Amino acid sequence: MLTVLCSAPLHSAPHSLRSGKITLNGATAIPAASFDKATESRALASLVTTSTQNRLVRITMGSLHLLGAVLYNMRTANQGQGQGKDAAGSPLVAAKEWGLTVAMCVVAGIWISSGFYGQ
C-alpha cells in the first residue's frame, strides 16, 4: 500500500482532498472461489469480452462521432455559401476540412465496430 500525505492547505477543496491523504492499493488477488467458469467459457466461445452496457455506450459514442462529422461537414459547407466566389477558401483549407471529417468518421467506425463485436 502506498500512502501520500499532502501538507499544503486546501481550504476550498472538498473534504476528501482536504484530508490530504491519497491511498493507492497495490494489485490484490481475487480469490479463486469468486471466479465464474461459466462466464469465462461463454466469453471465450463468443469472443465478446465486454458487457452489454459497455457495448451500447461504444455504439452510442460512435454514432455521436458520426453525427458530429456530418454536422461539421454541413456547417463548413454552409459557411462557404453566400460569401462570394472564393468562400470555400484555398484547396488546403478544403483538404483540412475533409481530413477532419474523415478522421471523425474513422473514430466513429472504431467505436461502432468495437461496440458491435464487443472487444
Asked whether residue 41 is domain-assigned, the answer is no
Asked whether residue 60 is domain-assigned, the answer is yes
Asked whether residue 86 is domain-assigned, the answer is yes
What is the model's pLDDT at position 28? 64
Query: What span, in angstroms and rounded, lies between the C-alpha atoms of 98 and 103?
Result: 8
Residue 3 vs residue 23, higher pLDDT:
23
What does the pLDDT average to over 19-40?
65
Asked whether residue 71 is domain-assigned, the answer is yes
Number of domain units in the chain = 1
Which residues constitute the domain of residue 112? 47-117
Q: Is the pLDDT of residue 111 over 50?
A: yes
Written as nine digits, the cell of 93 is 483549407
Residue 20 vs residue 47, higher pLDDT:
47
pTM: 0.55
Q: CA of 55: how far to CAs of 52, 60, 118, in Å?
A: 5, 9, 6
Among the listed residues 54, 76, 74, 68, the one whose alpha carbon sits nearest the alpha carbon of residue 106: 68
Query: What span, in angstroms and rounded, lies between the C-alpha atoms of 88 and 65?
Result: 24
Q: What is the pLDDT of residues 51-108, one digit of tens each?
A: 889 999 999 999 999 999 999 988 887 776 655 555 556 788 888 888 999 999 999 9
Highest mean pLDDT, choosing among 30-39, 80-89, 109-118? 109-118
Asked whether residue 99 is domain-assigned, the answer is yes
Asked whether residue 51 is domain-assigned, the answer is yes
